[in-house]
C-alpha cells in the first residue's frame, strides 16, 4: 500500500471510514489545504480560483472573522440559556436588515434545521400541513426537509402532504407563445401563481390544508432564475389569499449576493412571514437563522419550548457579527453588483462565439451558464461535465445545477474581483477549446 500515490491512499482511507453517501467533486478529487479571499491552494501548492463557494462569503479565512472567532473562543463559549451580549447584538443588527414586520429571530446551526423549524412554526400558525416547493428545490437533509427537497430524489408527495410546482424556468417556459424571460413580472408571476393555486386545490381535494410555500427566491438548485425581478409578488399574494405563509429560504440569495439587495426576497418586493438562512452567514462556522413575524411565531412559541445546544453560541455569533461588519465595511453588495456585471459581460462575449452557451442569467455574483446542444435548447449535461472537469484542470473550481445538470453555477465568494474574472476568462477560453468548442 505504501507504493500508492498519496491521493490514492487518501481515497482508500476515505472509502474505509466515511459513509458511502458522501460524494466528492471531480474525477480527480481536489485536496485543499489553504484559502484566502477567492483563492484556494491544494496539497501540492497549486492555486485555484474559487467560483463556487458561497459559504466563505467574505472570502476564505477573512482575518477579521478569524480574529473574532479566536478572541471569543479564548474567552467563553456557551449556550442561549444564559444571557450573552453577542447573541443580542447580532439579533438586533441582522433584524435591522429585514422588513419591520419580521421582528423575531432564533438561531440554529444549519440551513436544514432553520427550514425544519420554519415548517413547524408555519404549520402551527396556519393549522395546516401542506407545503409547496418547486420541482428541483433543495431545502435540507433532515427527515422533514429532505422530503421537501426534490433535487435529492426523495420528495414524497403523498406521505408528507407536499406538492411541487414547476421550476420558474424563464428560458423554457412558454406563456401563450411567449418565452418567460420576455414576459413582465406580472405575467410570469401570474403564471406561477396559477400553478400554486392548482397545487393548493389538489391538496384540498385530498383533505390537506395548505400551510406554506417554501422557496429560495433565486431558485438555485432549480437552475438559478433571478429575473424578472418582482415575479414572486403575485405568487406570494396568492399564498396569502389561500391562507398560507411564505417561508423565504435565503440560504442562497441572502447576505448581499445578488448585488441589489441584502435579501433575495427584497428584489421581489415581498415581505415574508418567515425567513431562513445559513451558509454565508458566519463565513464558515455552522450558523443559521430563522426569523419571523412575531404573530406567526406566537402559537408555536407559546406551546413548545425550543433549545438548540449550539445555535446562537457566542463564538458563532462573533463570527456572524464579524461577517456582517465586513459585508458593510467592504461593501460586498456593491462589489457583487459591479464585478457581477463585469463577469456577465465577459460571459456574453463567449456566448456570442460559442453555440453551446444557450442562456446566461444571474444577479450580482450568482450566474448561471446553461450548456446546450448548439442551435437548440436541449440540455447538454455531458458537455457541461466535460467543461467542469476541464476548468478544474485549468485551476478554476465550480459546479453544475438544474434538473438536467447542464447549468454551470458560478457563485464565488463575494470578494471576487475583476482580476478574478480575467483569470476565469483565460481558463474558460482554454477549456472551451479543449472541449471541442
**Cβ 206 to ligand PMP shortest distance, Å:** 26
Read off the C-alpha cell for 265. Answer: 426576497
Please state whether beta strands 366-371 and 357-363 pair in parallel, antiparallel, or not at all (unpaired): antiparallel
Q: Which residues of 310-326 are buried (b: 16+ CB within 10 A; e: fewer)?
A: bbbbbbbbbbbbbbbeb
Question: How many residues in the chain?
Answer: 437
Q: Select the residue whose beta carbon is closest to ligand PMP and give its number.
A: 111
Q: Which is nearer to ligand PMP, 107 or 138 (CB)?
A: 138
Among the listed residues 354, 224, 332, the one whose alpha carbon sits nearest the alpha carbon of residue 283: 332
Nearer to ligand PMP, 246 or 428 (CB): 246
Which C-beta is closer to ligand PMP: that of 358 or that of 402?
A: 402
**Nearest approach, Cβ of 128 to ligand PMP (angstroms)?**
21
CB of 253 to ligand PMP, least distance (A): 9
- Of 383 and 411, nearer to ligand PMP (C-beta) is 411
Could you count the other beta carbons within 10 Å of the beta carbon of residue 422? Answer: 12
Could you tell me the smallest distance in angstroms from the CB atom of residue 170 to ligand PMP? Answer: 18
Strand 288-293 with 274-277, pairing? antiparallel
Tell the smallest beta-carbon distance from residue 150 to ligand PMP (Å).
12
- Residue 108, C-alpha cell as written in the block: 440554529
Q: Tell me the C-alpha distance between 87 and 84, whole Å.
A: 6
- Whichever of 394 and 399 has its CB closer to ligand PMP, that residue is 399
Q: CA-CA distance, 90 to 109, in Å (whole number)? A: 15
Q: Cβ of residue 168: shortest distance to ligand PMP, in angstroms?
A: 14
- Cβ proximity to ligand PMP, 254 vs 259, nearer residue: 254
Q: Which is nearer to ligand PMP, 50 or 249 (CB)?
A: 249
The minimum distance between CB 430 and ligand PMP, in angstroms, equals 30
CB 250 within 8 A of CB 263: yes
Nearer to ligand PMP, 256 or 431 (CB): 256
Backbone angles phi, psi at 249, to 5 degrees: -85, 105
Looking at the Cβ atoms of 224 and 371, the one nearer to ligand PMP is: 224
- Grouping H, G, I as helix, E, B as strand and the rest as coil, residue 47 is strand
Are the C-beta atoms of 274 and 121 separated by less than 8 Å?
A: yes
HSE (CB half, 13 Å, CA atoms) of 331? 7
Phi-psi region of 176 (alpha: psi -120 to 50; beta: other; left: phi over 0): left
Closest CA relative to residue 225, chosen from 146, 297, 168: 168
Query: How many Cα atoms sit within 13 Å of 335 on the Cβ side?
Result: 23
Nearer to ligand PMP, 222 or 437 (CB): 222
What is the Cβ-side half-sphere exposure of residue 165, based on CA atoms within 13 angstroms? 28
Smallest distance from the beta carbon of 275 to ligand PMP, in angstroms? 12
CB atoms within 10 A of CB 358: 23
Quote the least distance from Cβ 155 to ligand PMP, whole Å: 14
H-helix or E-strand spanning residue 146 = helix 143-146
DSSP state of 280: G
Instruction: Write down the least CB distance from residue 134 to ligand PMP, Å.
Output: 11
Listed in sequence order, the residues at least 6 apart from 112 whose beta carbon sits closer than 8 Å to its beta carbon are 139, 140, 141, 142, 145, 146
What is the closest distance, in whole angstroms, from the C-beta atom of residue 412 to ligand PMP in the complex? 16
User: By the criterion CB under 6 A, which residues form the site for ligand PMP?
Assistant: 110-112, 115, 138-141, 216, 220, 249, 251-252, 278-279
Closer CB to ligand PMP, 57 or 220, in the complex: 220
Amino acid at each position: 500500500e505504501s507504493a500508492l500515490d498519496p491521493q490514492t491512499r487518501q481515497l482508500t482511507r476515505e472509502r474505509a471510514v466515511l459513509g458511502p453517501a458522501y460524494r466528492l467533486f471531480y474525477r480527480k478529487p481536489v485536496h485543499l489545504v489553504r484559502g484566502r479571499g477567492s483563492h484556494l491552494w491544494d496539497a501540492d501548492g497549486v492555486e485555484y480560483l474559487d467560483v463556487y463557494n458561497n459559504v466563505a462569503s467574505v472570502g476564505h479565512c477573512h482575518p477579521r472573522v478569524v480574529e473574532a472567532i479566536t478572541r471569543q473562543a479564548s474567552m467563553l463559549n456557551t449556550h442561549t440559556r444564559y444571557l450573552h451580549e453577542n447573541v443580542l447584538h447580532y439579533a438586533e443588527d441582522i433584524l435591522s436588515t429585514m422588513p419591520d414586520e419580521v421582528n423575531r429571530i432564533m438561531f440554529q446551526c444549519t440551513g436544514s434545521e432553520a427550514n425544519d423549524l420554519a415548517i413547524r412554526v408555519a404549520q402551527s400558525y396556519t393549522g395546516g400541513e401542506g407545503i409547496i416547493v418547486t420541482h428541483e428545490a433543495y431545502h435540507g437533509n433532515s427527515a422533514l426537509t429532505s422530503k421537501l427537497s426534490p433535487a435529492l430524489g426523495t420528495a414524497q408527495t403523498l406521505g408528507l402532504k407536499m406538492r411541487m410546482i414547476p421550476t420558474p424556468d424563464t428560458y423554457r417556459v412558454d406563456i401563450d407563445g411567449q418565452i418567460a424571460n420576455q414576459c413582465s413580472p406580472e405575467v410570469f408571476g401570474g403564471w406561477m401563481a396559477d400553478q400554486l393555486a392548482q397545487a393548493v386545490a389538489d391538496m384540498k381535494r385530498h383533505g390537506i390544508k395548505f400551510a406554506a410555500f417554501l422557496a429560495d427566491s433565486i431558485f438555485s438548485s432549480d437552475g438559478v432564475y433571478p429575473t424578472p425581478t418582482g415575479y414572486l409578488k403575485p405568487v406570494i399574494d396568492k399564498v396569502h389569499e389561500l391562507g398560507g405563509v411564505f417561508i423565504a429560504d435565503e440560504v442562497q440569495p441572502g447576505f448581499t449576493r445578488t448585488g441589489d439587495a441584502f435579501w433575495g426576497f427584497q428584489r421581489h418586493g415581498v415581505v415574508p412571514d418567515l425567513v431562513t438562512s445559513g451558509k454565508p452567514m458566519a463565513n464558515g462556522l455552522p450558523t443559521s437563522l430563522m426569523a419571523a413575524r412575531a404573530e406567526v411565531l406566537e402559537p408555536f412559541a407559546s406551546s413548545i419550548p425550543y433549545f438548540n445546544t449550539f445555535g446562537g453560541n457566542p463564538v458563532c455569533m462573533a463570527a456572524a457579527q464579524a461577517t456582517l461588519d465586513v459585508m458593510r465595511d467592504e461593501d460586498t453588495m456593491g462589489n457583487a453588483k459591479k464585478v457581477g456585471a463585469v463577469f456577465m459581460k465577459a460571459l456574453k462575449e463567449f456566448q456570442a462565439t460559442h453555440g453551446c452557451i444557450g442562456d446566461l442569467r444571474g444577479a450580482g455574483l450568482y450566474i448561471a451558464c446553461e450548456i446546450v446542444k448548439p442551435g437548440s435548447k436541449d440540455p447538454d449535461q455531458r458537455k457541461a461535465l466535460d467543461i467542469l472537469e476541464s476548468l478544474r484542470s485549468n485551476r478554476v473550481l465550480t459546479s453544475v445545477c438544474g434538473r438536467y445538470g447542464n447549468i454551470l453555477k458560478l457563485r464565488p465568494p463575494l470578494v471576487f474581483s475583476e482580476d478574478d474574472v480575467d483569470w476565469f476568462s483565460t481558463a474558460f477560453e482554454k477549456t472551451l477549446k479543449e472541449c471541442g468548442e
